[in-house]
């Protein structure tokens, strides 16, 4: 298996703590988490439900803000950005893949892929369409480009969502349970696509319930009770790059 050896840090999480207010009091979702990911690295974050793995992903993608600590992605400390600046930053730097309801139902598949380009005010409409078709071809769903998402299978929708995440050619791809809703064959295809993207130099961080992803990822880290553990400390996983 090929692993990326470029050690330039693209994602740097330091001392991040996230506390949610609940009726029962403060709930600590992340507790002093440190995390790094390098250029071209494919990292899987695993853990049980409620362990804090999706919260960490939200911090990295700027979907949510830490209570304390810092998150630097591609050289930008995103905790300091306003929502407007964060949106512009996300356009250029980040592609997001979710588990469910990824595509906007009233837009065609191609339009869904073009939407981030529209938000980023990137290129002319016709050029954007050409790029969208190229990206859909990359994930093998270009024949579905002018259909509405409801007529695509779950796997096709997930691949179209990956194409959309690549729309503005971001250096970082984050994926939250991208295979959670897919059959094993389609899940393998999706993971292979993400693996290929990492091979092309993108940093891919994926949250998953699946422990058996070591074939595709460079590194697996585990979340438990809001804290991050490497595989060795848990003795359950086989981390590649520590």
Residue numbers at the binding site for another protein (CB under 8 A) = 58, 61-65, 83-84, 87-88, 90-92, 94, 96, 98, 100-102, 104-108, 110-112, 114-116, 118-120, 124-126, 128-129, 145-152, 164, 167-168
Closest contact distance (angstroms) between CB of 4 and another protein is 25
Looking at the Cβ atoms of 19 and 148, the one nearer to another protein is: 148
Residue pair 52/60 in contact by the 8 Å Cβ criterion: no
Nearest to residue 240, comparing CAs of 72, 99, 42, 60? 42
Q: Is 184 exposed, middle or buried (0-12, 13-18, 19+ CB in 10 A)?
A: exposed
* Measured CA distances, 107 to 122, 124, 148 (Å): 19, 18, 6
Looking at the Cβ atoms of 55 and 222, the one nearer to another protein is: 55
Block residue for tokens 């905790």: 79
Angstrom distance (rounded) from CA 111 to CA 129? 8
Closest contact distance (angstroms) between CB of 99 and another protein is 10
Closest contact distance (angstroms) between CB of 100 and another protein is 7
Closest contact distance (angstroms) between CB of 35 and another protein is 18
Angstrom distance (rounded) from CA 80 to CA 66? 10
Residue pair 70/15 in contact by the 8 Å Cβ criterion: yes
Nearest to residue 51, comparing CAs of 30, 24, 69? 30
Closest contact distance (angstroms) between CB of 224 and another protein is 21
The first and second tokens of residue 158, run together, are 């997930």
Determine the straight-line distance between the first and last CA of the chain, rounded to whole angstroms. Answer: 16
Looking at the Cβ atoms of 177 and 218, the one nearer to another protein is: 177
Looking at the Cβ atoms of 4 and 61, the one nearer to another protein is: 61
Closest contact distance (angstroms) between CB of 95 and another protein is 8
Looking at the Cβ atoms of 21 and 212, the one nearer to another protein is: 21
25-38 and 203-208 strand pairing = unpaired
Looking at the Cβ atoms of 134 and 192, the one nearer to another protein is: 134
């Amino acid at each position: 298996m090929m692993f990326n050896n470029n050690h330039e840090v693209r994602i740097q999480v330091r001392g991040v703590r996230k506390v949610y207010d609940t009726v029962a009091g403060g709930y600590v979702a992340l507790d002093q988490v440190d995390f790094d990911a390098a250029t071209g690295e494919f990292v899987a974050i695993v853990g049980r439900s409620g362990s804090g793995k999706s919260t960490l992903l939200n911090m990295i993608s700027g979907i949510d803000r830490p209570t304390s600590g810092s998150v630097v992605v591609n050289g930008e400390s995103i905790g300091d950005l306003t929502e407007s600046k964060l949106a512009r930053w996300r356009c250029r730097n980040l592609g997001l893949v979710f588990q469910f309801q990824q595509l906007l139902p009233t837009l065609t598949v191609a339009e869904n892929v073009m939407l981030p380009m529209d938000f980023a005010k990137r290129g002319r409409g016709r050029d954007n369409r050409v790029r969208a078709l190229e990206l859909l071809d990359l994930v093998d769903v270009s024949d579905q480009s002018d259909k509405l998402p409801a007529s695509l299978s779950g796997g096709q929708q997930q691949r179209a969502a990956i194409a959309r995440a690549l729309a503005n050619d971001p250096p970082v791809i984050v994926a939250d349970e991208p295979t959670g809703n897919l059959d094993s064959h389609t899940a393998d295809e999706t993971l292979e696509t993400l693996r290929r993207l990492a091979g092309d130099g993108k940093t891919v961080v994926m949250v998953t319930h699946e422990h058996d992803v070591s074939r595709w990822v460079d590194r697996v880290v585990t979340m438990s009770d809001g804290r991050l553990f490497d595989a060795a400390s848990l003795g359950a996983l086989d981390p590649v790059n520590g």
